[in-house]
Structure 1
Amino acid sequence: MCFLSLTLTYIMRFCLSIAITEMVANRQRGKDFHIDPNACPFTTSNTTNASVNVDGEFHWSEETQGIILSSFFWGYVITQMPGGLLSEKVGGKIVLGFGILVSSLGTLLTPIAARLGDSIGLIITRICIGLGQGVIYPSLHVVTAHWIPTEERGLLGCFVFAGVNFGNAVSMSLSGFLLGLYKGGWPLVFYLYGTCGILWVVAWYFLGYSSPNDHPNLSEKEKKYLNQYNESVNMNKVAEPTPWREILKSVPMWGLVIGQIGHDWGLFTVVTDLPKYMKSVMHFSITQNGLLLALPYLLMWAVGLTSGAFSDWLLKRHVITITTSRKIFTTIASVGPSLGILGATYSGCDRIAATIFFIIGMGFMGFFYPSLKVNALDLSPNYAGTISAFVIGIGAISGIITPYLVGLLTPENTLLQWRLVFWIAVVALVGTNMIYIFTGSGEVQKWNNPQKKEDKDRR
Structure 2
Amino acid sequence: MSLSGGTVLMDICDPHDFRRGSSGSRGNDDLIFAVSKSSDLLCVNKVSPQKGFWGARYTLALMGVFGIASAYSMRVNLSMAILAMVRSGNATKNNSSNNCPAPDGDDEEASDEIEGEFEWDENVQGLMLGAFFYGFVLTNVLGGRAAEYFGGKKVLGLGIVLTGLFTVVSPVCAWVGPELFFVSRFAQGLTEGVTFPAMHILLATWIPTLERTKFSALVYAGIDFGTVVTLAVSGWLCHSGFLGGWPSVFYIFGGLAIIWGFFWVFLCFDRPEDHPRISREELLFIKSQTTEGGKSTETLPVPWRAIFTSMPFYAILFLHFGNNWGFYTLLTETPMYLNHIQHFDLKSNGLLSALPYLCTGMFVLVYGVAVDLVYRRDQPSLTTIRRVSALIAAYGPILGLIAMCFVDCDRTLAVVALCFAVGLNGAVYSGHMSSHMDLSPNFAGTLMGITNTFASTPGFLAPSVTSAITKGKQTLNAWRTVFGLSAGIYFVTVTFYIIFITTETQSWNEGRTKKTIGTSVFRRLVHLYMYMCSPYEPF
**Contact kept? 2:152, 2:199, Cα under 8 Å:** yes
Distance (whole Å) between structure 1 residues aligned to residue 267 and residue 471 of structure 2: 48
User: In 1, Cα distance between the equivalents of 2:106 and 2:492?
Assistant: 38
Distance in 1 (alpha carbons) for counterparts of 2:485 and 2:185: 26
Q: 1:432 aligns with which of 481, 493, 497?
A: 493
Question: Which residue of the partner structure matches residue 323 of structure 2?
Answer: 263
Partners in 1 of 2:111 and 2:133 — Cα distance?
Answer: 30
The letter of the residue matching 2:231 is M
Pick one of 112, 117, 120 that aligns with 1:60: 120
Question: Do structure 1's residue 448 and structure 2's residue 509 form an aligned pair?
Answer: yes
Q: Structure 1 pair 317/235, CA: closer, same or farther in 2 (3 Å)? A: farther
The count of aligned residue pairs is: 449
Give the aligned partner of residue 391 of structure 1: 451
Task: Find the residue that maps to 1:47 and give its secondary structure.
Answer: helix
Name the CA distance, whole Å, in 2 between partners of 1:440 and 1:170.
34
Compare 278-287 and 435-444 and name the one that shifted more.
435-444
By how many angstroms is 1:305 displaced? 1.5
- Pair 1:358-2:418 in alignment: yes
In 2, the alpha carbon distance for the partners of 1:384 and 1:142 equals 6
Matches within 5 A, 1:100-119: 100-117=160-177, 119=178
Could you tell me how far 1:430 is from its partner in structure 2?
A: 1.1
Matched, 1:71 2:131: yes
Q: How does the TM-score come out when normalised to structure 1? A: 0.94
Q: Give distance in 2, aligned partners of 1:339 and 1:320.
A: 27
**C-alpha deviation, 1:47, in angstroms:** 3.3
Tell me the CA shift for residue 436 of structure 1. Answer: 0.6
- Within a 5 Å distance, the mapping from 1:166-181 to structure 2 comes to 166-181=225-240
- 5+ unaligned residues in a row in structure 2: which ranges? 1-62, 516-539
C-alpha displacement of 1:211: 1.1
Q: Letter of the aligned partner of 1:106 in structure 2? A: F
Q: Which runs of 5+ in 1 are unaligned?
A: 455-459
Letter in 2 for 1:11: S
| Pair 47,322 (structure 1): closer, same or farther in 2 beyond 3 Å | farther
Name the CA distance, whole Å, in 1 between partners of 2:299 and 2:95. 62
| 1: CA distance, partners of 2:393 / 2:127 | 28
- Please give the residue correspondences for 1:248-287 in structure 2 after superposition, counting only pairs within 5 Å: 248-287=308-347
Q: Establish whether residue 138 from structure 1 lines up as the match of residue 138 from structure 2.
A: no
Establish whether residue 423 from structure 1 lines up as the match of residue 512 from structure 2: no
1:318-363 alpha-carbon deviations (Å, 9 max, x no partner): 5421111101110111111111122123111100111111112211
Residues in 2 aligned to 1:452 and 1:397: alpha-carbon distance in whole angstroms: 29
Q: 1:200 and 2:260 equivalent?
A: yes
Give a deviation string over 1:160-219, Cα, whole Å, max 9, x none. 001000111001111112122228610011111111011001111111211101100000
Partner amino acid, structure 1, of 2:103: T
Comparing 89-98 and 237-246, the one that deviates more: 237-246
Give the distance between the partners of 1:441 and 1:161, measured in 2 at CA: 22
On the 8 A contact 2:367/2:427 being kept in 1, the answer is yes
1:165 to 2:224 alignment: yes
Distance 2:513 2:398 in 1: 43
Residues of 2 paired with 1:263 and 1:95: CA distance?
Answer: 25
In the alignment, structure 1 residue 400 sits paired with structure 2 residue 426: no
The answer on whether the counterparts of 2:149 and 2:294 sit within 8 Å (CA) in structure 1 is no
CA distance in structure 1 between the partners assigned to 2:106 and 2:239 by the alignment: 12
Please, what is the CA RMSD of the aligned residues?
A: 2.0
Tell me the distance in 2 between the aligned counterparts of 1:124 and 1:414. 32
Displacement after TM superposition at 1:52 (Å) = 4.9
**Whole-Å separation in 1 of the counterparts to 2:378 and 2:120:** 55
Query: How far apart are residue 43 of structure 1 and its match?
Result: 2.3
Deviation at 1:291?
A: 0.8
What is the rounded CA distance, in whole Å, between the counterparts of 1:446 and 1:128 in structure 2?
37
Displacement of 1:257 = 0.3
Q: 1:235 to 1:355 in 2, by over 3 A?
A: closer
The residue number in structure 1 matching 2:188 is 129
Indicate the residue corresponding to 1:9 in structure 2: 71
More helix by share: 1
Confirm or deny: 8 A CA contact 1:36 1:414 kept in the other structure.
Answer: no
- SS where residue 269 of structure 2 aligns? coil
8 A Cα contact 1:23 1:53, kept in partner: no
2:442 match: secondary structure: coil
Q: Which amino acid aligns with 2:491?
A: V
Distance 1:234 1:425 in 2: 35
Verify the 8 A CA contact 1:26 1:51 in the aligned structure 2.
Answer: no
Q: Deviations over 1:209-230 (max 9, x none)?
A: 1110110000000011111123
Question: 1:397-435: CA deviations, max 9, x gaps?
Answer: 111200111111111322211111111111111111111
Question: CA offsets, 1:367-404, max 9 Å, x none?
Answer: 11111111111111111110110111110011120011
Tell me which residue corresponds to 1:457: none
Structure 1 residues 255-300: Cα deviation after superposition (integer angstroms, max 9, x where no partner): 0000000100000000011100001110001111111111111111
Letter of the 2:76 partner, please give it.
Answer: F
Of 184-193 and 65-74, more deviation after overlay is shown by 184-193
Higher Rg of the two aligned structures: 2
Shift of the alpha carbon at 1:450? 3.2
Q: Shift of the alpha carbon at 1:50?
A: 4.0
For residues 6-45 of structure 1, what are the structure 2 equivalents within 5 Å? Answer: 6-28=68-90, 37=96, 38-45=98-105
The answer to whether the 8 A contact 1:83-1:136 is kept is yes
Q: Report SS of the residue matched to 2:327.
A: helix
More deviation, 48-57/402-411: 48-57
Once the 2 structures are TM-superposed, how far is the Cα of residue 304 of structure 1 from its aligned partner?
1.1
Distance 2:359 2:450 in 1: 29
Q: In structure 2, what is the Cα distance between the partners aligned to 1:198 and 1:101?
A: 5
SS in 2 for 1:369: helix
Q: TM-score, normalised by structure 2?
A: 0.80
Q: Is the 8 A contact 1:344 1:355 kept in 2?
A: no
Quick one: structure 1 residues 137 and 197, their matched pair in 2 at CA, closer, same or farther if it must change by over 3 Å? same
Q: Is the 8 A contact 1:25 1:53 kept in 2?
A: no
Within the candidate set 131, 138, 150, 1:90 is matched to 150
Alignment partners' CA distance in 2, 1:363 and 1:234: 31
Render the CA deviation track for 1:89-122: whole Å, top value 9, x for unaligned: 01001101110111101110111001112x2111
SS in 2 for 1:240: coil
Paired amino acid for 1:436: Y
Instruction: Judge conservation of contact 2:401–2:417 (CA < 8 Å) in 1.
Output: yes
